[in-house]
């Protein structure tokens, strides 16, 4: 079956612009995660959804970052007033149940470049 799909695969934007990154999880997976990965680093947790609600958003760096999952499937990560420091690969993952006890299935990520 289809894996986790992220679009776009690459996004270049100018400093100060607004961007939206989309994630289509594996069908039936109730848990969805957003991570951010900089070059040479491990993934850094941003936010975790269980169904439609954000169960843990403690990793969002500031109020410029927001994510939604209105119908419990597709999720959108929104970044306002982008800064050069936001440049990274944004990874989405989904799992059956809580990822603490279930493997995470990752998409290939969206590479965001802020110029």
Partner 1 sequence: SQQGEEDPQALSIQEGENATMNCSYKTSINNLQWYRQNSGRGLVHLILIRSNEREKHSGRLRVTLDTSKKSSSLLITASRAADTASYFCATVSGYSTLTFGKGTMLLVSP
Parallel, antiparallel or unpaired: strands 53-56 and 65-68: unpaired
Q: Is 46 exposed, middle or buried (0-12, 13-18, 19+ CB in 10 A)?
A: buried
Kindly determine how many residues on this chain lie close enough to bind partner 1 according to the rule CB under 8 A: 24
User: Which residues 6+ apart lie within 8 Å of 18 measured at CB?
Assistant: 78, 79, 80, 81, 82
Residue with Cβ nearer partner 1 (17 or 98) = 98
Q: Which is nearer to partner 1, 91 or 114 (CB)?
A: 91
106: contact with partner 1 by CB under 8 A: yes
Q: Which of 82, 99, 112, 114 binds partner 1 (CB under 8 A)?
A: 99
Q: Which stretch binds partner 1 (CB under 8 A): 17-25, 69-77, 79-87, 101-109?
A: 101-109
* Binders of partner 1 in range 16-75 (CB under 8 A): 33, 35, 40-45, 48, 56
Q: Output the furthest CA–CA distance in the chain (Å, rounded).
A: 39
Question: Would you tell me which residues interact with partner 1 (CB under 8 A)?
Answer: 4, 33, 35, 40-45, 48, 56, 91, 93, 98-101, 103-109
């Amino acid at each position: 079956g289809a894996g986790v799909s992220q679009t776009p695969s690459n996004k270049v934007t100018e400093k100060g612009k607004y961007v939206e990154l989309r994630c289509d999880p594996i069908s039936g997976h109730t848990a969805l995660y957003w991570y951010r990965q900089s070059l040479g680093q491990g993934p850094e947790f941003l936010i975790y959804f269980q169904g439609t609600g954000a169960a843990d958003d403690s990793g969002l760096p500031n109020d410029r970052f927001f994510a939604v999952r209105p119908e419990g499937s597709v999720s959108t990560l929104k970044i306002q007033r982008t800064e050069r420091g936001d440049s990274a690969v944004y990874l989405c993952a989904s799992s059956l149940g809580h990822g603490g006890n279930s493997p995470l299935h990752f998409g290939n990520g969206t590479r965001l470049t802020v110029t």
